[in-house]
Homo-oligomer: A and B are copies of this chain.
Amino acid sequence: MRPKSLEKEAAIRSIALQIISEEGLENLSMQKLAKAANISPRTIYIKYENKEDLLVKLFIEEVLGAYEKAVLENFDPKMGFTEGMKKLWLNTFSYLKNNKPAFSLIQYGKSSPLLNKAFQEKNIRQGEFFAPIHTFLKIHVKTGLIPDLPHDVHRALLFSPIQDLVAEYFDHLDRPVQIITEEVILTCCEIVIKGITNQKNNEQH
């Protein structure tokens, strides 16, 4: 029997991401994708059940999987809070700034009902994405360094600014002067850390 061509599957995924990033999810069609990948539309249906299946697998497996791996590289839940946060922020920035297609689909994941639902179901059925961050935060809640808030609230406070900064990095890409640099990222990270940490020695009653 003839084996599946892995190159063709990889081409489908990367070209789909490219179209979504450049023209938007609403302008991705199976026929456009097939033509751009130089294959027959039928070939896509050998690897994916239908368009929704393709989009969901692209989002969950290709994009979020690689994103999680990149963010957690050289990160350990037992790290000190400041060290860990800076590692996570810098990993996020250096991965996403070189992967605009991935960032685009992650953004769509917050808008599209289809992708949003897929994300929540995956989180429930197969365990949370970014589980080591979960552990990391729990440890620092236990020591009393950061307040005991729901994990989703922690995420909003600690990581939504870095994602917004990446969006701004891309918005400024064609301008002469870059304002979102690694130095700015670290400054912002320190500001976020300062906000969340309980500096017990400073309590004034």
Q: Which residues of A contact B (CB under 8 A)?
A: 22-26, 104, 107-108, 110-114, 116, 120, 147, 149-150, 152-153, 155-157, 160-161, 163-165, 167-168, 171-172, 179-180, 184, 187-188, 191-196, 202
Chain B nearest CB, measured from A166 CB (Å): 9
New contact pairs (12) apart from A120-B171, A156-B188, A157-B192, CB-CB < 8 Å: A24-B112, A24-B114, A25-B111, A25-B112, A152-B171, A152-B180, A153-B188, A155-B164, A156-B165, A157-B161, A194-B194, A195-B195
Cα A196 to Cα B189 in complex, Å, equals: 11
A150:B179 contact, CB within 8 angstroms:
yes
Cα A172 to Cα B193 in complex, Å, equals: 26
Cα A161 to Cα B24 in complex, Å, equals: 25
Chain B nearest CB, measured from A59 CB (Å): 12
Cα A31 to Cα B111 in complex, Å, equals: 22
Cα A194 to Cα B204 in complex, Å, equals: 14
Who on chain B is nearest to A190 by CB? B195
Number of identical monomers bound together in the oligomeric complex: 2
Cα A24 to Cα B108 in complex, Å, equals: 10
Known: A179-B152, A202-B202. A157 touches B24 (CB 8 A): no
B111:A23 contact, CB within 8 angstroms:
no
Who on chain B is nearest to A167 by CB? B110
B25:A191 contact, CB within 8 angstroms:
no
Cα A107 to Cα B164 in complex, Å, equals: 12
B-side contacts of A147, CB under 8 Å: 187, 191
Cα A188 to Cα B155 in complex, Å, equals: 11
Q: Which of B110, B168, B193 contacts A107 (CB 8 A)?
A: B110
Cα A1 to Cα B171 in complex, Å, equals: 46
- 21 residue pairs from A and B, CB less than 8 Å apart: A24-B111, A25-B111, A26-B26, A26-B112, A104-B111, A111-B111, A147-B187, A150-B179, A152-B171, A152-B179, A152-B180, A153-B165, A153-B188, A156-B168, A157-B191, A160-B163, A160-B164, A191-B196, A192-B195, A194-B195, A202-B202
